[in-house]
Amino acid sequence: MLTNFLTIIWRNLTRHSFYSFLTISGLAIGIAAGFLILQYVYFETSYDTFFENKDDIYRVQLNRYNKGELTTQWAAGCAGAGLAMKEDFPEVVKFVNMTKSNAQISYQKNYFKLDYAYYAGQSFFDVFSVPLLRGIDTLVLKEPFKVVLSESMAQKIFGVEDPVGKVIKMNDETDFEVTGIFQDLPERSHMKLDLLYSFESFVNFTSEESRTAWQWDGFLNYVQLHPGTDPDALQAKFPAFIEKRAGEELRQYDAGMEFTLQPLGEIHLTSDYRGEIKPTGDQRATYFLLIIGLFVLLIAWVNYINLTTAHSLKRAREVGIRKVLGSYKNQLMRQFLVESSLMNLIAFTLAGLFILLAFPSFNEFLGRETAYSWPDSSFFWLGLIGIFIGGTLLSGFYPALILSNFRPVTVLKGQFSQSAKGNLLRKGLVTFQFLASIFLITGTYVVYQQLNYLQSQDLGVNINQTLVVNTPSFSSDSVLVSRDDIFKDKLSSESFVEELTNSTAVPGRTPPWNAGGIRLLRQTEAESNQYRVL
């Protein structure tokens, strides 16, 4: 019987080749588009899931208030938050503090400008399960002037040499010994790290206040809680904690602050604050895309149902003859469900081919740095198999029911007519398909226009003829000013340079400095405000 089914299916596919091509290709393109969208959603919602103890690790986010008004929301908050929480709350097992470094490093006169270099506390590798390829997790960041490199950065600086024990220079002034190599973090992490200096080095450069200050921001603080700790209950203790630690100082400047605990796995989609390590995602947009992805898959199968039922009139005589020859209704339904399954399987195979061909362009469009292709989660694949089975039943059951209900005598006499209910359902499916398609096309056009506007609006500067040079930062302001002046003088003498200026940030981006206590000379300290400084 199965052999007979397959023979009939093959004959129908080849005899009605244009219809078969239209049906299968439409379904394949819909499945491919839906899969790519769902794959993106999976990617965005699976950040930081690879960390051990991820459910117990939280980032301390800081909100600053000035005269009762929320002025700054920090991902990288005050210096002493993590240490103070470890001292005051038994729920906190460990903490890690980090702060960004803009320093330039060099090795044997080869210079490197790093975008993701941080000072990090000794417990970093104890809290975060980032594999250390060389070194001992509790020792590599214990002492001042020690540095740990990512695997890719170590290869970039040292090539095939063993970096451990070698010395690199910071800003041509300070020696740092390489004590370890850590595995590059996956792209699905809210962190991106090229190297980590020991936090003790930062204390040595500045003061002990960098461990404890409450009015010095720009420090990432992570806390690991005891398993089973209720983060909301702990967070409810923070107002009294802030009052105890900094209440008097805050009242002096009519200022305020509050801490919130951000679960590690939610940082990427729900956080977009000052001091983020790298750009974050958007939870609302991601879940909206999830709906669109499912919508696209549904439209693909509705289109298949419409084409199949429209084509069913040509199969009516086949059904009539089969029934006259003794076929039962359940046998006919089984035949058309097998046909639907095979059509869906061919469409899924073609969709896989489309996806493989589209992945490079898709990743480039999204701005991903890795050639990430297929999801590595069994949950995702089980869900996709479920969608395939559900889609096959959805797209096969109704046409099979329609075809198996044909009356052989009526059909063979050529007097076949469609029922009012069947017509109503088919018209409803077609209407749904057109409305959904119009909705998606309109949305796509609007987004295209928005992106086109963003890319073509007048910025007040000819960016095609303007070059931004990130000059290295040096620990001594006098050295920085001196080298900047020399650099500017050299550039100004070049014939291709028309104008030249410098700034602490690229115009259009958020200035990195946020300073408080700024007031007119005639104002009191209580009247001072916070400002972004450029």
108 Rama sector, left if φ>0, alpha if ψ -120 to 50, beta otherwise: left
Residues 257 and 404 in one domain: no
Going by the DSSP 8-state scheme, the letter that residue 510 receives in this structure is P
402 shares a domain with 254: no
Q: Enumerate residues 6+ apart whose C-beta is below 8 A from 71.
A: 64, 65, 530
Asked whether 12 and 20 are in contact (CB, 8 A), the reply is yes
Using left for φ > 0, alpha for ψ between -120 and 50, and beta otherwise, residue 508 falls in: left
Domain count, the chain: 3
Q: Are residues 243 and 321 in the same domain?
A: no
Cβ distance 124 to 200 under 8 Å? Answer: no
Among the candidates 362, 383, 417, a domain finishes at 417
Please identify, among 377, 393, 417, the residue that sits at the C-terminal boundary of a domain. 417
Examine the domain organization and report whether 197 and 83 are in the same domain: yes
The per-residue DSSP string of 111-176 comes to EEE-SSEEEE-TTHHHHS-PPEEES-TTTTTSSTTEEEEEHHHHHHHHTTS--TT-EEEETTTEEE
Domain-located, residue 278: no
pLDDT value for 376: 67
Whether 428 is in a domain gets the answer: no
Other C-beta atoms closer than 10 Å to the C-beta of 517 total 12
Regarding whether 110 and 220 lie in a shared domain, the answer is: yes
Are 118 and 100 a contacting pair, CB within 8 Å? yes
482-513 burial, b for 16+ CB within 10 Å, e for fewer?
Answer: eeeeeeeeeeeeeeeeeeeeeeeeeeeeeeee
Question: Tokens 């990512």 map to which residue?
Answer: 150
Are the C-beta atoms of residues 418 and 424 closer than 8 Å to each other?
A: no
**What pLDDT was estimated at residue 324?**
66
Domain identity same for 407 and 492 = no
The H or E element spanning position 235 is helix 231-235
Q: Which domain holds residue 508?
A: 483-533
Which of 396, 417, 438 is the endpoint of a domain?
417
My answer on whether 346 and 263 are in the same domain is no
- Tell me, yes or no, whether 310 and 394 share the same domain: yes
In 334-452, beta strands by DSSP E: none
- Considering the domain architecture, whether residues 392 and 410 belong to the same structural domain is answered as yes
Quick one: tokens of 308?
A: 């199949």
Token representation of residue 33: 């588009």
Query: Looking at the structure, do residues 258 and 287 belong to the same domain, yes or no?
Result: no
pLDDT for 328: 65
| Burial class (CB within 10 angstroms; exposed 0-12, middle 13-18, buried 19+) of 379 | exposed
- 123 alpha-carbon distance from chain centroid: 26
| Stated pTM of the model | 0.81
∠ Cα 432 433 436 (to 5°)? 80
474 part of a folded domain: no
Question: Which residue type, as a one-letter code, is found at position 183?
Answer: Q
Return the number of other C-beta atoms located less than 10 Å from residue 166's C-beta.
16
Q: What are phi and psi for residue 37, nearest 5 degrees?
A: -65, -45
Residue 156 resides in a domain: yes
252 and 384, same domain (yes or no): no
Closest CA to 281 of 43, 118, 447: 43
Token couple for 195? 């190297």
Strand partners, 495: none
Instruction: List phi, psi (to 5°) of 289.
Output: -65, -35
Residue with tokens 């006169």: 109
Among 375, 390, 392, smallest CA distance to 35 is for: 375
Asked whether residue 171 is domain-assigned, the answer is yes
- Residues (pLDDT < 50) of the chain are 475
